[in-house]
A and B are shown apart, each in its own frame.
Chain A
């Protein structure tokens, strides 16, 4: 009997209408476990880097973590691995919700979708029944409508769906793939890939068991972790933007000016009191981090930066307005961060005279005007007027507009930045050095919450049951950070280890909220090792689990190295090295020497050479010989060796 995994892979070719069910490769499962690990490996094996993102050769590989579908608390993450049309890199996207467990119960650990359908279709999976169905009646419909029609026509109100809205259909780069209740796969144009395949939705219903190898032990530990979440629940409930200081420094679209938000705690509370009807959780999770907001007769599910991205971008201090924008994001299928930034960018270059009324179809762009935002969202979703240009993402749009627009386009690896300033050392390394150029969910407890605590609080933490890092890191948390931002060396130690922890979460399907994004994380690495061992029957130790994580991280990096990613790409935009932000909050410029040293130390910890390429040694250590061979064959690694000899 197979334990822990569902046991099958599903492969659908939309060009030919071919559906294949393959038995999962146990050896591959053992080496990559699941989730991001397995999906990245499948991608590496099947797709050459020469394949372009918007072609039938670029698959969307949906995966489930190895703990998804079991009773492990918070194990509900769906992962998508694909090539991004925006960054042109291998990218991955994760979401909570209910979809991954459902797919696993239908009998599949992952689902690869190749090809392009000539006509709009959607995929229906009910256990062994897999159908490619006509979706011409769904094309153009918004997300909730699509879900409703599919559930009605298949007469099953418990179907779990993933769907794109008009934004994805029109291949807008900042589109997302939406699931219900505020979960979506987003960033880097994943919705556009789905739209390009003319795939409107994937509906799943599964009725099969996931077997557990060691039931009693597994259940006991799950119960313990479930109860251990109590402290985190209270913490999350009482968490306030104001106390966290997260909105004291948020950047406007032009990123050289700040919008400090005062008294945001009371402001937020007041809104919640008026509009929040309840808090919502994902599958088998007790944290209820999403807020159901009733505004203008519609419910939307909001969390994280979704609250404030539009406020920061528009300079309109009004949550009603922000939620109205967010409702449109849920309706059309948008990534709210990129979208907000793009509109602010348009306003910024309009004010600078680069965009004119001729370009905008007579519309006067300005901050502080809600109508500008609401209109622009519609225009981008349907690729109308200037929206057609902005829909190509910040990098391409700036080039299309020309006339100096590129100078003001702020992006890392061609992806729009978030509302947090890159001048902050922590935000900087997390955003710039990450493979998908996205800082969200990469943040973790230690740098976020413990660097500025009192001595007693720190003592409590390192001796508590929440400590996540190797013993020797305990010495590192005593010193408070250098206010001038020269604290990179210590941060890289944590962030590089965090990268492993994040990969572990992505592989097992555990939400980062349970594994270290917040303090009081109910899981520590030891728990995850035990749960994976108990559920699959494998005998995994810490060393092996970290190796799986490292394998995943290096594989993603190596793929992107094949696509040309080097050290120069792991850097903030050039102007951050000499420009200071406008008063009253003046940050920057970033010290180039310190930054370079940081990158050096980070690369060393990750096993990259000075140019950001994984070294032969690092690859061999985790058993990625085939990657080493490939990189040598492509003269990527050999080049580096030659260079060394010349020096």
Chain B
């Protein structure tokens, strides 16, 4: 078991003030604090005033393609697209992309190592909607990872047939 610290979000406590966005954007400006622009923030708050819903979403990994999932979430009886709460920087939207360069944004927990008091969004959230907590995580073992690779190839073989996959691998090996 490995202990890591993560940001935990309590949407019931969020007041929708977007202070987290502001401080995040300011901190990550180059040079530090030299500019403010929440559109560059690595945390954004999803708003729905009509339904009293305020959800801070922390930027996650970049995805090359938009997902074909698009599940719907029902909150307080109202339906929302999965996109509202999705942390990915993805081709289907502007969220979590630098507005000038279009490059993806991803939360860096305010650098390596993170500040001991927690990332800035947590420090500035006076309502404790964001907290910095320790969590135990299972360490992924090497063996398991090998399993995963084999599973992936087996999946491809199932999908496209052994012949085709072998052809592709041959071509790759030759080039």
Interface residues of A (CB under 8 A from B): 69-71, 73, 98, 101, 105, 144, 148, 157-158, 180-181, 206-212, 215-216, 218-219, 223, 226, 229-230, 233, 277-286, 288, 292, 294, 299, 301
B32 proximity list for chain A (CB < 8 A) = 215-216, 219
Contact between B50 and A299, CB atoms less than 8 A apart? yes
Q: How far is the CB of A333 from chain B (nearest CB, A)?
A: 15
* B24 CB, min distance to chain A CBs, angstroms: 10
List the one stretch of B13-21, B61-69, B134-142, B155-163 in contact with chain A. Answer: B13-21
Asked if residues A280 and B29 are in contact (CB atoms below 8 Å), the reply is no
Kindly identify which residue among B15, B38, B40 contacts A280, using a CB–CB cutoff of 8 Å.
Answer: B15
Task: Name A301's closest neighbour in chain B (CB-CB).
Answer: B49
Report A-chain residues with C-beta under 8 Å of the C-beta of B126.
Answer: 226, 229-230, 233, 286
- What CA separation (Å) do A233 and B38 show in the bound complex? 24
A288 touches B33 (CB 8 A): no
B46 — which chain A residues lie within 8 A by C-beta?
157
Closest to B38 in A: A105
Decide if B36 touches A209 in the complex (CB within 8 Å). Answer: yes
- B52 and A288 contacting across the interface, CB-CB below 8 Å: no
Q: How far is the CA of A284 from the CA of B19 in the complex (A)?
A: 4
Kindly list chain B residues whose C-beta atoms are within 8 Å of the C-beta of A148.
50
Task: Report Cα–Cα, A299/B49, bound state, in Å.
Answer: 8
Write out the residue numbers on chain A whose beta carbons fall within 8 Å of the beta carbon of B34.
Answer: 211-212, 215
A285 touches B35 (CB 8 A): no
Q: Are A283 and B49 in contact (CB under 8 A)?
A: no
Q: Please list the residues of chain B having a beta carbon within 8 angstroms of any beta carbon in chain A.
A: 12-19, 22-23, 26, 29, 31-40, 44, 46-47, 49-52, 54, 84, 99, 124, 126-127
Listed residue (B37, B40, B46) with the most chain A CB atoms within 10 angstroms of its CB: B37
> Chain A nearest CB: distance from B20 CB in Å?
10
Q: How far is the CB of A537 from chain B (nearest CB, A)?
A: 12
Contact A284 B49, beta carbon cutoff 8 Å: no
**Total A-B pairs, Cβ < 8 A:** 101
CB distance from A234 to the nearest CB of B (A): 11
Q: Do residues A218 and B33 form an inter-chain contact, with CB atoms below 8 A? A: yes
* Cβ–Cβ contact A210 & B49, under 8 A: no
- Residues of A within 8 Å of B124, CB to CB, are 223, 226
Which residue from A70, A105, A209, A283 sits with its C-beta under 8 Å from B17?
A283
Name the residue of chain B whose CB is nearest to the CB of A219: B33
Q: In the complex, which residue of chain B has the Cβ closest to the Cβ of A105?
A: B37
Q: What is the distance, in angstroms, from A163's C-beta to the closest C-beta of chain B?
A: 13
Closest 9 CB pairs of A and B: A281-B17, A207-B99, A215-B33, A209-B35, A219-B33, A281-B15, A215-B34, A288-B15, A207-B39
Let me know if A294 and B52 touch, CB within 8 A. Answer: yes
CB pair A284–B18 under 8 Å, yes or no, is: yes
Known: A71-B36, A219-B33, A284-B22. A180 touches B49 (CB 8 A): yes
Chain A residues with CB under 8 Å of B23's CB are: 71
| A144 adjacent to B50 (CB under 8 Å) | yes
By a CB distance below 8 angstroms, the chain B residues around A157 are 46-47, 84
Determine if B17 and A210 form an interchain contact, defined as CB atoms under 8 angstroms apart. Answer: no
Residue of B nearest to A211 (CB): B35
Q: A229-B126, A282-B17, A283-B18 are in contact. Are A299 and B51 (CB under 8 A)?
A: yes
Instruction: Say yes or no: A216 contacts B33, CB within 8 Å.
Output: yes
Instruction: Check A209–B18 contact: CB distance below 8 A.
Output: no
Min CB distance, B122 to chain A, in Å?
A: 13
Question: What is the minimal beta-carbon distance from A284 to any residue of chain B, in angstroms?
Answer: 5
What is the chain B residue whose CB lies nearest that of A104? B36
**B15 adjacent to A278 (CB under 8 Å):** yes
Known: A105-B38, A210-B35, A215-B33. A299 touches B17 (CB 8 A): no
Contacts of B40 in A (CB 8 A): 209
Assembly CA distance A468 to B19 (angstroms): 26
Please, how many angstroms separate the alpha-carbon atoms of A211 and B16 in the complex?
Answer: 24
Q: How far is the CB of A13 from chain B (nearest CB, A)?
A: 29
User: Known: A180-B49, A278-B12. Is A70-B19 also a contact (CB below 8 A)?
Assistant: no
Supply 11 further A-B pairs (C-beta < 8 A) apart from A73-B19, A226-B124, A284-B17. A71-B33, A157-B84, A209-B37, A210-B36, A210-B37, A218-B33, A278-B12, A281-B16, A283-B22, A286-B19, A299-B49
Closest chain B CB from A211 CB (angstroms): 5
Complex alpha-carbon distance, A223 and B33, angstroms? 12
- The smallest beta-carbon distance between A2 and chain B, in angstroms, is 11
A299 touching B52 by the CB < 8 A rule?
A: yes
Q: What is the minimal beta-carbon distance from A217 to any residue of chain B, in angstroms?
A: 9
Known contacts A98-B18, A280-B16, A284-B19; A70/B36 CB under 8 A: yes
CB contact under 8 A between A288 and B19, given known A209-B35, A277-B52: no
Query: Is A279 touching B52 in the complex (CB atoms < 8 A)?
Result: no
The minimal Cβ–Cβ distance linking A552 to chain B, given in whole angstroms, is 25
In the assembly, what is the distance between CA of A71 and CA of B19, in Å? 8
Whole-angstrom distance between the Cβ of B59 and the nearest chain A Cβ: 15
Q: Which residues of A contact B39 (CB under 8 A)?
A: 105, 206-207
Smallest CB gap from B31: residue in A: A215
Closest chain B residue, CB of each to CB of A277: B52
Residues of chain B contacted by A281 (CB below 8 angstroms): 15-17
The minimal Cβ–Cβ distance linking A191 to chain B, given in whole angstroms, is 20
B127 touches A288 (CB 8 A): yes
Q: Which of B17, B37, B52 has the most CB of A within 10 A?
A: B17
Residue of A nearest to B16 (CB): A280
Which residue of the partner chain A has the closest CB to B34?
A215
Which residue of the partner chain B has the closest CB to A208?
Answer: B37
* 7 sample A-B contacts, Cβ–Cβ < 8 Å, listed by A number: A71-B36, A73-B19, A148-B50, A210-B37, A215-B29, A226-B19, A281-B16
List, in ascending order, chain B residues with CB within 8 A of A208's CB: 37, 99
CA distance A31 to B174 in the complex (A): 72
The answer for the CA separation of A105 and B35 in the assembled complex, in Å, is: 11
Q: Min CB distance, A89 to chain B, in Å?
A: 33
User: What residues of A have a CB within 8 angstroms of the CB of B12 in the complex?
Assistant: 278
Q: Determine how close the nearest CB of chain A comes to the CB of B170; give it in whole angstroms.
A: 46
Shortest distance from the beta carbon of A63 to any chain B beta carbon, whole Å: 18
A279 & B18 in contact (Cβ 8 Å cutoff): no
Known A144-B50, A209-B35; judge A71-B26 contact (CB<8 A): yes
**Smallest CB-CB separation from B21: which chain A residue?**
A284
Q: Of the candidates B33, B36, B47, which one forms a contact with A69 in the assembled complex, judged by CB atoms under 8 Å apart?
A: B36
**CA–CA, A33 and B13, complex, Å:** 36
Could you say which residues of chain A place their CB within 8 Å of the CB of B51?
Answer: 299
Closest Cβ of chain A to B12, distance in Å, is: 7
- The CA-CA distance from A210 to B23 in the complex, in Å, is 13
**A72 → B minimal CB distance (Å):** 9
Nearest Cβ distance between residue B146 and chain A, in whole angstroms?
A: 43
